[in-house]
Amino acid sequence: MIKTPYYLIDKSKLLRNMERIAYVREHSGAKALLALKCFATWSVFDLMQEYMDGTTSSSLNEVKLGRLKFAGETHAYSVAYADDEIEEVLAHSDKIIFNSISQLKRFADASSSHVRGLRLNPGVSSSEFLIADPSRPYSRLGEWDAGKVAEVIDQVSGFMIHNNCENSDFALFDQMLSQIEERFGALLEQVEWVSLGGGIHFTGDGYPLDAFCARLKAFSERFDVQVYLEPGEAAITMSTSLEVTVLDTLFNGKNLAVVDSSIEAHMLDLLIYRQPARMAPCDGEHSYMVCGKSCLAGDIFGEFQFDKEPQTGDRLSFIDAAGYTMVKKNWFNGVQMPSIAVRQLDGSVEVVREFSFDDFVNGLS
């Protein structure tokens, strides 16, 4: 039995998402790039690269990882590049996407022989959270003024437009894409490729894939562009769990169970957005608040129903624990970093990475 805590990536569940991505690629003509900012566990890239066209990044380190570990195209994007990293970014990428006109101009000479793009901000977004809304007031994410972009259109061959966030509503996607067409249509007609970013949950159950494919194809044909999608969460949704063990139980007005993990250290994105972790549905009669072992008073995974009262030594499993989780794990309180395990397609489970005290020490100085 594998020692907890550990993340368990199930390739058979991952494959379900990959097959839906492949369907969209085939029927829409769009290409799909894995967004490494969401998921970068390269131990399963062998499977993912069979169904996707490459990777997209948010930093020099992600660009280098994508080029090293994932077949296909490597797109580079960053909110801002530093002078001392631009040479490496260019060396490890097929396309570079600048966030602003000023960055495009700053690195115009260095990138003159590279495929270049620019991020556009359409001023509309699907985000329910201000912290994640790329179109929030005073946003630094992309250029808003079509007139200013038109002045540098000869320096780029494509655009990136990322304004979907956890969007499972096709009608909303369609509506926002129409607004993009209206606002930037004259610019879109002058480029060769357009990335529509990530945040579109088209691999979810019930999503109208055929309508989505038709909309992407119509957009591509209208402007004569190659469309790119940048699925992150959509690529790995429901593929991974965080396996933990109950260390203690107590009662303080509510039944509490403390586990050998921490939401701040191992599922940080949920803490940021103040969302509970998820377990497989259970409507048992025993209600427990499951808590992490760090010193943070609010280190709480959530309240759950159990068929029987949790006991010390019981194993618990938090589902859908890959997206924006594994990439954010940290050593807060020195809580043991979860190992990473992969359930292969034949059902066997392999531990692909364990973390030690030396890893903790070497992350400090």
Over residues 314-340, the pLDDT tens digits come to 999 999 999 999 999 999 999 999 999
Banded model confidence at residue 362, pLDDT cuts 50, 70, 90: very high
Cis peptide before 134 (omega within 30 of 0): no
Banded model confidence at residue 188, pLDDT cuts 50, 70, 90: very high
Residue 306: its pLDDT value, please?
Answer: 97
Joined tokens for residue 95:
């396309």
Q: How far is CA 101 from CA 25, 59, 140, 157, 275, in A?
A: 31, 18, 12, 14, 36
Query: Mean pLDDT for the chain?
Result: 97
Q: How far is CA 246 from CA 154, 187, 230, 283, 316, in A?
A: 60, 56, 37, 20, 7
Q: Is the dihedral of CA 186, 187, 188, 190 positive or negative?
A: positive
Residue 24: its pLDDT value, please?
Answer: 98
The CA distance from 1 to 204, in Å, is 32
Q: How far is CA 61 from the centre of its chain?
A: 16
Is residue 305 within 8 A of residue 280, CB to CB? The reply is: no
Joined tokens for residue 137:
């007031």
Mean pLDDT over 220-233 rounds to 98
Joined tokens for residue 24:
């969209």
The CA distance from 41 to 17, in Å, is 16
Q: How many CB atoms lie within 10 A of CB 196?
A: 23
| Crossing angle of helices 209-223 and 170-188, rounded to 10° | 10
Q: Torsion over CA of 162, 166, 170 and 176, rounded to 10 degrees? A: -40
Q: What percent of the chain has pLDDT over 90?
A: 99
The CA distance from 169 to 236, in Å, is 18
Q: What percent of the chain has pLDDT over 70?
A: 100
Banded model confidence at residue 353, pLDDT cuts 50, 70, 90: very high
pLDDT per residue as tens digits for the range 4-42: 999 999 999 999 999 999 999 999 999 999 999 999 999
Exposure b/e, 15-30, CB count within 10 A at least 16 = b: bebbebbebbbeebeb
Residues 6+ away with beta carbon under 8 Å from 40: 62, 65, 326, 327
Long-range contacts of 283-288 (CB under 8 A, 24+ apart): 284/308, 286/255, 286/310, 287/254, 287/255, 288/249, 288/254, 288/255, 288/256, 288/257
